[in-house]
A = this chain, B = another copy of it.
Amino acid sequence: MNDISGPSAENVSLLERIRMGEILARDCPSREILNHVCSRWGVLVLVVLLDGTHRFSELRRKIGGVSEKMLSQTLQSLEQDGFLDRKALPVVPPHVEYSLTPLGEEVAMQVNGLTTWIEQNLPRIMDARQTRKTTAEDS
């Protein structure tokens, strides 16, 4: 306990950790952000928008299985967090475009790393799963 260079995380108070944005702290605001970003549809929205601006219906079509309600809700929370821009053109019929803000582009890159890894390693993962499936039939 005599020095600095080690990981000081264990010496800071809970409040300090929260202020610092430590995601392991119960009430840290970063938890909420993480949940928005990692929500079932949040991840996918970010990844799709990394390809460029999309309209509501385009997102709905690309993201298999999302309902209007969930898409709308997801878009709102991500917009709230400052990750995406909503541009509603005043025409009829309505035309709304969603795109990533610079901040959003940065998170999107991070989640894209994750989704890409999963897609590419799905075979390895499915194999690893099988191995462990056999637990009850080794009579």
Can you list 11 pairs linking A and B with CB atoms under 8 Å apart? A21-B119, A21-B120, A23-B118, A24-B44, A27-B64, A29-B122, A34-B43, A82-B128, A82-B131, A110-B114, A111-B114
Contacts of A20 in B (CB 8 A): 119
Count, chain A residues at interface, CB 8 A: 55
Chain B residues within an 8 Å CB radius of A87:
none
Q: B64 touching A122 by the CB < 8 A rule? A: no
Contact A34 B64 (CB under 8 A): no
Provide the A8-31 mask, 1 if CB < 8 A to any CB of B, else 0. 000000000000111111111110
- Residues in B neighbouring A47, C-beta threshold 8 A: 23-24
A101 → chain B closest CB, angstroms: 7
Q: Is the CB of B21 within 8 A of A81?
A: no
In the complex, which residue of chain B has the Cβ closest to the Cβ of A21?
Answer: B122
A91 to chain B, nearest CB (A): 21
User: Measured between C-beta atoms, what is the minimum distance from A58 to chain B in Å?
Assistant: 12
| Residues of chain B with a CB closer than 8 A to A80's CB | 129, 132
A69 at the interface (CB under 8 A from B): no
Does A38 interact with chain B (Cβ within 8 Å)? yes
Known contacts A63-B24, A81-B128, A132-B80: does B122 contact A33 (CB below 8 Å)? yes
Q: Which of B44, B107, B121, B127 contacts A114 (CB 8 A)?
A: B107
